[in-house]
Chain A
Amino acid sequence: MTFREKSATASVRISANGNGGSKSSSSVSKKPVWEYTPSPEAKDHIEVKPRYDLFINGKWQKAKKYFATVNPATEEKIAEVASASKDDVNRAVLSAERAYNKVWSKTPPKERAKYIFRIARIMQEKAREFAVIETMDGGKPIKESKSVDVPLALAHFFYYAGWADKLKYAFPNQLFEPVGVVGQIIPWNFPLLMAAWKIAPALACGNTVVIKSAETTPLTLYKLAEVIQEAGLPDGVVNIISGAGDTGAAIVNHPKVKKIAFTGSTEVGKLIMRSIAGTDKKVTLELGGKAANIIFEDAPIDQAIEGIVNGIYFNQGHVCCAGSRLFVQESVKNLVIKKLKHRLKSLRVGNPMDKNTDVGAINSRMQLDKITELVRSGIEEGCSIYQPECKLPESGYFFKPTFFTNVAQSNRIAQEEIFGPVLSVLTFRTPKEAIEKANNTQYGLSAGIWTDKGSKIFKMVSQLKAGVVWSNTYNKFNPASPFGGYKESGFGREGGLQGLKEYLIF
């Protein structure tokens, strides 16, 4: 791995053996290569049941049908989980309604806080188990589940637990009450974290919950159900179910569900909007994205490269706010591309359970097919593809970290959300052009700006149509910071005070 593309003509000028020792400088080429040996995370401490029923009214309840959940890195079945029918959804909603009327709405805010704190603490004790299962079920590197998914999920519970008895200070001089039963539908890219984003504020505000996990990643939610049981949360306050689109539709259409919180694709978001039209249901949607990550010539280039990598290859690019469109100022285009190529050589793609893996498995066969199809379109439309040389595991769903150059706004790969480790590199000449191109998309979830000049950051931020803008960093999350989109990336905010608002009626 050398950075310099031209053949290295210079020889090593320094020898450590000036006085004629046994080694010579030719040892540079002969010496054995130092490789990181596999370092798999231990799995023996975790407990996964062969079959998971629905978690309704504080009890495990059988369903009529079950489906398998598969480890995308090995294609092996991990467990069977219940597929909730319309009747099951009805049972879950009624149990949530009962819990709301009889128990939760009468529970003092301070007591609600105690329950949420308790959930957070029990999760903390089981952090490693959660991380391992998240990685097995979803394919993300264990490094990320351990350092991002689980700690952030915990942080959301802790954060919102703190608000539960302070809502009147959050919204002074306003009268408000909980919504009642909320229906929540979460995606497969950050299952536990998205559950925390949704359950924690809902409970803090005094609502009861019916939440559905994504089809390919149901396991950590059922682990969370075990934690909720252990925490002694009153029966029916949180109901956790699994299933496919029909199950989601049944939640959305249930008349007793007063609020929908959905994170997922724009396509499904539109369906939800159509089906609740004419009802008084509250709704928040956090949908797709095609974020612009903008690198100016005066940026700290090496850190910007890390920001690009983190922006698009984090969680295999299965991130709604992924920095999938890179805008590079033309004066540094060649440098940035050269450095990015070099950086991709040291990205470690493979077994997600290995502690040194940087890029894990694609979440499902379906997603892999979608990524492959879009990458093919990029090649067919004449964009130049770059992938580092790396060996992918023989089984499982894997895709090499990829970027395209010679991309124009009109190419499909620059417009459509790929939701995979695929970056489109575009260029700009002036800040004005950067803004125009960055905003020229149907989405508006997030953006990144890289420059050493503070005034430029503020000028750009005020003009970018994106819910979150990071400067000189990327993909940073904090429970106190609201997250959400413009345009087809959805509406409503999760996190912070703004996130509380969505679960209250004023």
Chain B
Amino acid sequence: MNINSAINSLESFHLAVDETGAKERAASIAGRSIKKESKVHAIKLAVSMIDLTTLEGKDSEGKVYALCQKAIRPMDGSEEIPHVAAVCVYPNMVKIAKSALAGSGVNVASVATAFPSGQSPMKLKIDEVKRVVQMGADEVDMVISRGEFLEGNYQYTYDEVKAIKEACGEAHLKVILETGELETYDNVRKASIISMLAGADFIKTSTGKVQPAATLPVTLVMLEAIRDFYNETGKIIGMKPAGGIKTTKDAIAYLCLVKETLGEMWLTPDLFRMGASSLLNDLLMQYRKEQTGVYQSADYFTND
């Protein structure tokens, strides 16, 4: 795709988003009342969609190993609760995660491209991506260069995503827009569509290092972009809100958003993920409550 046609197709997506309206719609869907069997189903689904994440300077092999164990068996002794979708780590931790997760069905996702700021030369980013894939990352979470995007250099954003996608090879690519820095919903929609045009497999809200991270309205705007992109091109793109999703209630609201915007087809870990860490235990706690009728103390859920 050359410069002109990329920009042209951008225009055909009707880029205006009304902030008040988007917030209202997201709040209305979040108000759905999900109870009983429906809630149990949602909890299991949510667990299977988690990208269990640790992205800290103090991450160590011990920490990542433990997190991987939790990812494989979130709730000890429960066959009902599935494993999470992936473990998301820094490049240095890819190898240990890969060996800890071998044969489990849980993917290794690595952040890359000078996460979280993206302020590095393109060549280094490409090398980094190639390296993490070589070390065994199944999924790459890249960040776009927000500075370039905000300068109006959309072609740069397009080329950047396209180059990283090529460097990914077989690994699948999640493009982090860092919506907290893009600020407006018009920007979010525009960045979503550019990323999808350039070959993103997933679009993702945030690094988790900038506030606000994932919000319901931002996710709604991105889901609508995915829906419109699918309608125009037939290509199915996934969505990952990340950061700030802490409770079962939050997670269920996100699932309702997906169900009512994109439909059942997207309610699978192949197409929807939630980047989170503390969410998992809240889901387990709510699951136990649905089974037994009472809330169990936090001490009964493992902290890894």
User: B235, A2: Cβ atoms under 8 Å?
Assistant: no
Known contacts being A1-B264, A13-B236, is A355 close to B230, with CB within 8 Å? no
- Residue of A2, A32, A34, A299 contacting most chain B CB atoms (<10 Å): A34
User: B270, A15: Cβ atoms under 8 Å?
Assistant: yes
Out of B35, B41, B255, which one reaches A32, CB within 8 Å? Answer: B41
A85 to chain B, nearest CB (A): 44
Residues of A within 8 A of B107 (CB): 16-19
Residues of B within 8 A of A13 (CB): 172, 201, 235-236
Residues of B within 8 A of A306 (CB): 21, 24-25
Q: Which residue of A lies closest to B85 (CB)?
A: A16
User: B32, A36: Cβ atoms under 8 Å?
Assistant: yes
A461 to chain B, nearest CB (A): 17
Residues of A within 8 A of B265 (CB): 1-2, 28
A452 to chain B, nearest CB (A): 4
Known contacts being A16-B270, A34-B267, A36-B32, is A21 close to B18, with CB within 8 Å? no
Residues of A within 8 A of B42 (CB): 34
Q: Which residue of A lies closest to B13 (CB)?
A: A301
Distance in angstroms between the alpha carbons of A17 and B84 in the assembled complex? 11
Residues of B within 8 A of A4 (CB): 230-231, 234
Residues of A within 8 A of B260 (CB): 346
Residues of A within 8 A of B101 (CB): 19
Asked if A279 is at the interface (CB within 8 A of a chain B CB), the reply is: no
For chain A, what secondary structure do more than half of its interface residues adopt (helix, strand, loop), or is it mixed?
Answer: loop
Distance in angstroms between the alpha carbons of A356 and B265 in the assembled complex? 21
Asked if A33 is at the interface (CB within 8 A of a chain B CB), the reply is: yes
Residues of B within 8 A of A302 (CB): 17, 21-22, 25, 224
User: B35, A37: Cβ atoms under 8 Å?
Assistant: yes
Asked if A415 is at the interface (CB within 8 A of a chain B CB), the reply is: no
A267 to chain B, nearest CB (A): 35
Asked if A458 is at the interface (CB within 8 A of a chain B CB), the reply is: no
User: B255, A34: Cβ atoms under 8 Å?
Assistant: yes
Residues of A within 8 A of B102 (CB): 19
B287 to chain A, nearest CB (A): 15
Distance in angstroms between the alpha carbons of A472 and B25 in the assembled complex? 13
Out of B37, B105, B264, which one reaches A33, CB within 8 Å? Answer: B264
User: A21, B104: Cβ atoms under 8 Å?
Assistant: yes
User: A39, B35: Cβ atoms under 8 Å?
Assistant: yes
Q: Which residue of B lies closest to A346 (CB)?
A: B260
Residues of A within 8 A of B36 (CB): 37
A366 to chain B, nearest CB (A): 31
Q: B1-59: which residues lie under 8 A (CB-CB) from chain A?
A: 14, 16-18, 20-22, 24-25, 31-38, 41-42, 45
Out of A3, A23, A36, A303, which one reaches B22, CB within 8 Å? Answer: A303
Asked if B119 is at the interface (CB within 8 A of a chain A CB), the reply is: no
Residues of A within 8 A of B259 (CB): 34, 346
B193 to chain A, nearest CB (A): 13
Residues of A within 8 A of B18 (CB): 300, 303, 452, 472
User: A16, B269: Cβ atoms under 8 Å?
Assistant: yes
Distance in angstroms between the alpha carbons of A335 and B34 in the assembled complex? 32
Residues of A within 8 A of B115 (CB): none
- Residue of B42, B231, B267 contacting most chain A CB atoms (<10 Å): B231
Interface readout for A344-378 with B: 1 if CB under 8 Å, 0 if not? 00100000000110000000000000000000000
Distance in angstroms between the alpha carbons of A472 and B33 in the assembled complex? 28
A6 to chain B, nearest CB (A): 7
Distance in angstroms between the alpha carbons of A300 and B189 in the assembled complex? 11
Asked if B238 is at the interface (CB within 8 A of a chain A CB), the reply is: yes
B17 to chain A, nearest CB (A): 5
Interface readout for B280-299 with A: 1 if CB under 8 Å, 0 if not? 00000000000000000000
User: B227, A34: Cβ atoms under 8 Å?
Assistant: no
Asked if A25 is at the interface (CB within 8 A of a chain B CB), the reply is: yes
Known contacts being A14-B201, A19-B105, is A2 close to B263, with CB within 8 Å? yes
Asked if B271 is at the interface (CB within 8 A of a chain A CB), the reply is: yes
Interface readout for B88-130 with A: 1 if CB under 8 Å, 0 if not? 0000000000000111111100000000000000000000000
B73 to chain A, nearest CB (A): 14
Asked if A175 is at the interface (CB within 8 A of a chain B CB), the reply is: no
Asked if B251 is at the interface (CB within 8 A of a chain A CB), the reply is: no
User: B105, A22: Cβ atoms under 8 Å?
Assistant: yes
Interface readout for B255-278 with A: 1 if CB under 8 Å, 0 if not? 100011011110111110000000
Asked if B178 is at the interface (CB within 8 A of a chain A CB), the reply is: no
Interface readout for B228-243 with A: 1 if CB under 8 Å, 0 if not? 1011001110100000
User: A21, B105: Cβ atoms under 8 Å?
Assistant: yes
Distance in angstroms between the alpha carbons of A19 and B101 in the assembled complex? 10
Q: Which residue of B lies closest to A338 (CB)?
A: B231
Asked if A10 is at the interface (CB within 8 A of a chain B CB), the reply is: yes
Q: A240-290: which residues lie under 8 A (CB-CB) from chain B?
A: none
Q: Which 10 A-B pairs have the closest CB atoms?
A: A21-B105, A303-B21, A1-B263, A300-B18, A18-B138, A355-B33, A39-B33, A303-B18, A37-B38, A16-B269
- 7 example contacts (A-B, Cβ-Cβ < 8 A) are as follows A1-B263, A2-B263, A39-B33, A39-B34, A307-B21, A355-B32, A452-B18
Known: A21-B105, A346-B259. 18 other contacts (CB 8 A): A1-B264, A1-B265, A3-B227, A3-B228, A4-B230, A14-B202, A14-B238, A19-B103, A19-B104, A20-B105, A27-B268, A39-B35, A300-B18, A300-B21, A301-B16, A306-B25, A335-B14, A452-B16
